[in-house]
A and B are shown apart, each in its own frame.
Chain A
Amino acid sequence: MTLKVMMKGNEQILRLEQVEKIYGPRGAFFNKTGKDVIALSRISFSIGKGEIFGLIGESGSGKTTTGRLILKLEEPDAGKIFFKDKEVATLSGNPLKTFRLRVQMIFQDPYQSLNPQFTVYETVSEPLIIHRLKNKTGRDEQVYDAMQAVQLSPPEDFFSRYPHQLSGGQRQRVAVARALVLHPELIIADEPTSMLDAPISIQIFDILLKIQKTFNVAFLFISHSLAAARYLCQRIGVIYKGHLVELGLGKEVIQSPRHPYTRALLDALPVFAHGKMVKRYETLLKKERENTRAEGCIFYKRCSMARVPDCSYEQPPLADSGSGHLVACPYT
Chain B
Amino acid sequence: MPLLEVDQLSIGYDTSDGYLSAVSDVSFSLEKGKSLGFVGESGCGKTTIGMALMGLLPPNGSVRSGRILFKEENLLGKSDEAMRQIRWNEIAMIFQAAMNALNPVHRVGDQIAEAILAHRPGVSKDEARHQVKALFEMVGIPKNRMKDYPHQYSGGMKQRAIIAMAMALRPKLIIADEPTTALDVIVQDQILQEAKRLQETLDISMIYISHDISVVAETCHDIGVLYGGQLVEYGSRESVLESPFHPYTKMLLSSFLTVSTKRADVVIVPGDTPNLINPLPGCRFCERCSYYEASCKLKALQYVTISPTHKVLCSRCG
Is B a genuine binding partner of A? yes
Residues from chain A with a CB closer than 8 A to the CB of B215 are 270
Q: Does A220 contact B (CB under 8 A)?
A: no
Given contacts A198-B211, A200-B41, A202-B266, contact A265 B257 (CB under 8 A): no
Given contacts A199-B251, A199-B255, A200-B41, contact A271 B218 (CB under 8 A): yes
A277 to B249, CA, bound (A): 22
Q: Does B42 contact A (CB under 8 A)?
A: yes
Q: Does A227 contact B (CB under 8 A)?
A: yes
Assess whether A275 is in contact with B260, with CB atoms less than 8 Å apart.
yes
Q: Does B256 contact A (CB under 8 A)?
A: yes
Assess whether B273 is in contact with A231, with CB atoms less than 8 Å apart.
no
Q: Shortest CB–CB separation between residue A224 and chain B, in angstroms?
A: 6
Partner of A273 from B211, B259, B268, B273 at Cβ < 8 Å: B259
Interface, chain B (partner A; CB < 8 A): 41-42, 151, 155, 184-186, 188-189, 192, 211-215, 217-218, 241, 251-252, 255-261, 263, 266, 268-270, 272-273
Residue of A nearest to B186 (CB): A268
Of A5-13, A76-84, A164-172, the stretch lying at the interface with chain B is A164-172
Residues from chain B with a CB closer than 8 A to the CB of A267 are 189
Assess whether A198 is in contact with B259, with CB atoms less than 8 Å apart.
no
Q: Which of A24-54 contact B (CB under 8 A)?
A: 30
Per the CB 8 Å criterion, the residue count for chain A at the interface is 39
- Residue among B211, B213, B259, B273 with most chain A CB within 10 A: B259
> What's the A-B contact tally at a CB cutoff of 8 Å?
104
Q: Does A225 contact B (CB under 8 A)?
A: yes
| The 7 nearest A-B residue pairs measured at CB | A275-B258, A275-B260, A272-B217, A268-B189, A270-B214, A227-B257, A58-B184
Partner of A276 from B192, B211, B257, B260 at Cβ < 8 Å: B260
Q: Which of A115-138 contact B (CB under 8 A)?
A: none
Assess whether B268 is in contact with A203, with CB atoms less than 8 Å apart.
yes
Residues from chain B with a CB closer than 8 A to the CB of A226 are 185, 259
Residues from chain A with a CB closer than 8 A to the CB of B155 are 59
Residues from chain A with a CB closer than 8 A to the CB of B252 are 198-199
Assess whether A265 is in contact with B266, with CB atoms less than 8 Å apart.
no
Q: Which of A185-205 contact B (CB under 8 A)?
A: 197-203
Partner of A270 from B42, B218, B255 at Cβ < 8 Å: B218
A224 to B186, CA, bound (A): 11
Residues from chain A with a CB closer than 8 A to the CB of B272 are 167, 169-170, 200
Residues from chain B with a CB closer than 8 A to the CB of A30 are 151
Assess whether A268 is in contact with B188, with CB atoms less than 8 Å apart.
yes
Given contacts A197-B41, A197-B42, A203-B268, contact A59 B258 (CB under 8 A): no
Partner of B258 from A169, A206, A274, A284 at Cβ < 8 Å: A274
Residue of B nearest to A168 (CB): B42
Assess whether B263 is in contact with A272, with CB atoms less than 8 Å apart.
no
Assess whether A274 is in contact with B259, with CB atoms less than 8 Å apart.
yes
Residues from chain A with a CB closer than 8 A to the CB of B41 are 197-200
List 12 other contacts, CB 8 Å, given A269-B259, A270-B218, A272-B214.
A58-B184, A168-B42, A198-B41, A206-B268, A224-B184, A230-B257, A268-B186, A270-B192, A271-B217, A273-B256, A274-B259, A277-B258
Residue of A nearest to B190 (CB): A268
Residues from chain A with a CB closer than 8 A to the CB of B266 are 202, 231
A225 to B181, CA, bound (A): 12
A-B contact pairs, 12 of them (CB 8 A): A167-B272, A168-B42, A197-B41, A225-B257, A227-B257, A227-B258, A231-B257, A254-B260, A270-B189, A270-B217, A271-B214, A275-B259
Q: Does A55 contact B (CB under 8 A)?
A: no
Assess whether B268 is in contact with A231, with CB atoms less than 8 Å apart.
no
A284 to B211, CA, bound (A): 27
A310 to B213, CA, bound (A): 41
Q: Shortest CB–CB separation between residue B251 and chain A, in angstroms?
A: 6
Residues from chain A with a CB closer than 8 A to the CB of B261 are 227, 230-231, 275
Q: Does A249 contact B (CB under 8 A)?
A: no
Q: Shortest CB–CB separation between residue B311 and chain A, in angstroms?
A: 22
Q: Shortest CB–CB separation between residue B51 and chain A, in angstroms?
A: 20
Residue of B nearest to A273 (CB): B214
Assess whether A231 is in contact with B263, with CB atoms less than 8 Å apart.
yes
Assess whether B258 is in contact with A272, with CB atoms less than 8 Å apart.
yes
Q: Shortest CB–CB separation between residue B315 and chain A, in angstroms?
A: 22
